[in-house]
Amino acid sequence: MIISDKYTVEQKKDILKGYKKLLRALDKNVKPADKKNIRKAFEIAVDAHKDMIRKSGEPYIHHPIAVAQIVAEEIGLGPVSIISALLHDVVEDTEWTLEDIELEFDKTIANMVDGLTKIDSLTASSTSLQAESFRKIIFTLGDDIRVIIIKLADRLHNMRTLESMIERKQHKVASETLYLYAPLAHRLGLYAIKTELEDLSMKYTESKKYKEIAKKLNQKKKERDKFIKEFCDPISVELQKANLKARVYGRPKSIASIANKMKKKDVEFEEVYDLFAIRIVLDAPFEKERDDIWRAYSIVASKYTPNPNRLRDWVSNPKANGYESLHTTVMGPNGKWVEVQIRSERMETVAEKGLAAHWKYKEGKSADSNIDKAFESWLVEVREVLKNPETNPLDFLQDFRSNLFAQEIYVFTPKGDVKNIPKGSTALDFAFLIHTAVGSKCVGAKVNGKLVPLSHVLSNSDQIEILTSPKQKPNEDWLSFVVTSRAKSKIKQALKEERKIIADDGKELLARKLKSIKANFNGENVQFLTVYFDMETTLDLYYNIAIDKIDLLKLKNIPLERGNFVQPKPKKEVIIPEVKDEVHHLRESKPKSKKETTNIIEFGENGDNFAYEFAKCCEPIPGDDVIGFITVGGGVKIHRSNCKNVINSSAQYGYRIIKTSWKVKGDSSFLVQLRLKGTDDMGLISQITTIISKDYRVNIKGMNIETIDNVWVGYLKLFVKSDDQLEAIIKRLKKLNGIISVQRMEEDKEDVDADEVG
Whole-angstrom CA distances from 301 to 126, 308, 464, 558 are 58, 11, 35, 81
Cα–Cα dist 474/476, whole Å: 7
Cα 43 to Cα 40: distance, rounded to the nearest angstrom: 5
Q: Is 505 an active-site residue?
A: no
Active site residue 92: yes
Q: Which strand (E) or helix (H) includes residue 515?
A: helix 485-516
Question: Rounded to an integer, what distance in angstroms lies between the CA atom of residue 366 and that of residue 381?
Answer: 23
- Alpha carbon of residue 35 to chain centroid: 36
Residues 435 and 442: their CA atoms lie apart, in Å, by 11
The single-letter DSSP state of residue 584 is B
382, 116 Cβ separation under 8 angstroms: no
Q: CA dihedral in degrees (541, 542, 545, 546; nearest 10)?
A: -150
Active-site residue among 14, 27, 58, 93? Answer: 93
Note whether 265 and 257 are within 8 A (CB): no
Catalytic residue among 92, 390, 581, 724: 92
Cα torsion angle, 726, 727, 732, 735, sign: positive
d(CA 626, CA 611) in angstroms, rounded, equals 16
User: CA 461 → CA 144, 280, 410, 725, distances in Å?
Assistant: 34, 28, 6, 48
Which amino acid appears at position 672 of this protein? V
Kindly provide the b/e burial profile for residues 80-99, where b requires at least 16 CB atoms within 10 angstroms of the residue's own CB: bbbbbbbbbbbbeebebebe
3-state secondary structure 443-480: EEEEECCEEECCCCECCCCCEEEEEECCCCCCCHHHHH
Cα(first)–Cα(last) distance of the chain, in Å? 52
Burial class (CB in 10 A: 0-12, 13-18, 19+), 710: exposed
Q: Which of 613, 736, 629, 715 is nearest to 672 (CA)?
A: 715
CA–CA dist 598, 590 (Å, integer): 13
Name which of 485, 192, 198, 486 is nearest 357 in CA terms.
192
How many Å is the Cα radius of gyration of the chain?
A: 29
**Best CA proximity match to 589, nearest among 573, 612, 607:** 612
Residues labelled catalytic: 92-93
